[in-house]
Structure 1
């Protein structure tokens, strides 16, 4: 069996998605997500100019050898562009292999380890009252785990909080927009938000929070300690993630569980965090961390140190990635939770899928492969539109972490 064709499909049904489709000489095809939010065309170029020409003619069943060829053979290893492109190839090949075996992907990985997949949604509001209302709506939909983000008094725009009734989409402009941030205002207000949520909804729901890399280690330690009475499921991305030593200081001061990893591309980005048990959940995604082949290694390594998975699942990952992630979630022994930021009806039309959601839980479906396809004719109706993530400045004008 040989790969005879591979092509990149770029579409924008409400936001940009990049999809790789690999076809074999037997007519079997697989697809993989190659979306890198705000840098989509960089991955397209890497695939079309460098990886696809070297992929044609190879045996699609040799997933491991192909992965090693593109990882080791590049010399310039790791990084978000290269690992996202490699992930697209890897997921498409796993899709093909599972289709050839006539079984859903989770069976090929080793079979299911649970009956359903716990997921968390976002409850975002411009102020405390609207945030509490968002939690009520999430509870009505059956969610047992909810990420809380709230507008901060005195700050015009806050991460995770949408304008008006629109769904939140951070990549909101052709070129990076500028937002203003105040750590002091944030730290003074956020504990009040969680106090109010617990007061109204009690202790029977899991609460999560995303700091989005904006604090120093000692500030993150303070926040974690302030949030301890409210028993968070996790505090996510508390500091800029490049310095793994930062988490040591946070860990010394708080028992609030810590999660990180959506910006990681390699096991080496999180190796010390995991082996030193400085985090509780690893959030590296299949699309940005080299595909199923590499994320399996991360998850297996994490299991040795009681670290569980918690895949990033915002809409900057296409339904193709969500489908692959849910099969992985169904199988992986050290599963923690799956993020769910629902795609629009328009996006779901472009990417028909077998996975199903019901009252706070997912199942991946029984369709051979990862169960997600792409309607190419429909995708062609939504041309690419450049959209960049914002940047942050402190109130005095200093550039800060977004």
Structure 2
């Protein structure tokens, strides 16, 4: 069997996605997600101009060799564009291998370690009253874990708070919108939000919160300490991870568990955090971390250091990526949680899939391969639409991490 074609498909059924579809001479196809939110066409060009020509004629069964060829064979390595492109190839090849074997991919990864994948939802509101209503809605849907994001008094808008509560999408404009931020206002408000949530819903619901890289280490330590009475499952992305020493400072001052890694693209981005046990959950994703092959290595390394998975699963990861994540999630021994932001009906129609939600769990399904595809005719009805993530400024006008 040989690869005879690889198509890069860009579609926007409510938001932009980049998909690679690999075709073999025996008619078996595989799909991989290559979406990079706000920079989709950079990956599309990288695939089309630099990767696809290298795939023609290759044996699709040689997944590891192809991964090494695209990673080690290139002088310029890593980075979100390169690793998203490699991820698309790797994921598509696993899809093909599963179809050839007649097995779902998780069976090729060692089989089930659990019956279902526990997911968490994204409950948000401008006010605490709105947040409580959203948490209640997720509980009605059967969720066992909820990430809570709330507007901050005095700020016009806040990360994680959206008009459409079920289909959250921050990339909202052809040019970046600008938000205003105040760490002082935020730190003064958030503990009271969780006090209300715990008072309303009791101790059993797993609660999470995302600081979205906005704090200094000592600010994050203060927040973690103030949230300890409310027993969060994790505090997500408290600081930018370029200076990983900062996580050691956080560890000294709080027992609130820490999760990070959704912007990482290699095990080397996470090696210190994992090996020194400075985090509790690693949030790397299939699409950003070079595919199933490399992310499995990251999770295996994390397992040796008592770090669990907590993979990112926002709407900018297509159903192809979600399917791939679920096959990993259900097979690894150190699974923690899986983020699950639901896609719109239009997106689900473009990407028909076999995975399904039931009572707080996602299930990857039993179809051979990943159990997901792209309807190219439907995709063609939704052309690319420029959309940027916002830019953040402090109240004095200084640029601040979004």
What does residue 155 of structure 2 align with?
A: 155
For 1:1-400, what aligned pairs fall within 5 Å after superposition? 1-163=1-163, 167-400=167-400
Deviations 1:283-313 (A, max 9, x none): 0000000001100110000000000001100
- 8 A Cα contact 2:167 2:342, kept in partner: no
Cα offset, 1:354, TM superposition? 0.5
Cα offset, 1:164, TM superposition? 6.2
- 8 A Cα contact 1:266 1:289, kept in partner: yes
Deviations 1:225-251 (A, max 9, x none): 000000000000000111111100000
| Whole-angstrom CA distance in 2 between matches of 1:175 and 1:72 | 35
- 8 A Cα contact 1:244 1:270, kept in partner: no
| Whole-angstrom CA distance in 2 between matches of 1:245 and 1:43 | 31
- Give the total of aligned pairs: 402
| Whole-angstrom CA distance in 1 between matches of 2:233 and 2:96 | 36
* Unaligned 5+ runs, structure 2: none
Deviations 1:193-249 (A, max 9, x none): 000000010001000000000000000000000000000000000001111111000
- 2:330 is paired with a residue whose SS is helix
Deviations 1:79-132 (A, max 9, x none): 000000000000000000010000000001110000111000011001110000
| Whole-angstrom CA distance in 2 between matches of 1:145 and 1:337 | 9
| Whole-angstrom CA distance in 2 between matches of 1:167 and 1:111 | 32
- 2:57 is paired with a residue whose SS is coil
| Whole-angstrom CA distance in 1 between matches of 2:143 and 2:379 | 31
- 8 A Cα contact 2:166 2:341, kept in partner: no
| Whole-angstrom CA distance in 2 between matches of 1:129 and 1:177 | 27
- 8 A Cα contact 2:287 2:321, kept in partner: yes
- 8 A Cα contact 2:80 2:265, kept in partner: yes
Cα offset, 1:165, TM superposition? 6.1
- 1:129 is paired with a residue whose SS is helix
- 8 A Cα contact 2:124 2:165, kept in partner: no
- 8 A Cα contact 1:11 1:383, kept in partner: yes
* Unaligned 5+ runs, structure 1: none
- 8 A Cα contact 2:122 2:149, kept in partner: yes
- 8 A Cα contact 2:168 2:341, kept in partner: no
Q: What TM-score comes out, normalization by structure 2 length?
A: 0.99
Cα offset, 1:167, TM superposition? 3.4
Q: What TM-score comes out, normalization by structure 1 length?
A: 0.99
**Consecutive aligned runs of 4 or more in structure 1 exceeding 2 Å deviation:** 163-168
| Whole-angstrom CA distance in 1 between matches of 2:181 and 2:54 | 45
Cα offset, 1:163, TM superposition? 2.6
- 8 A Cα contact 2:221 2:249, kept in partner: yes
| Whole-angstrom CA distance in 1 between matches of 2:117 and 2:370 | 15
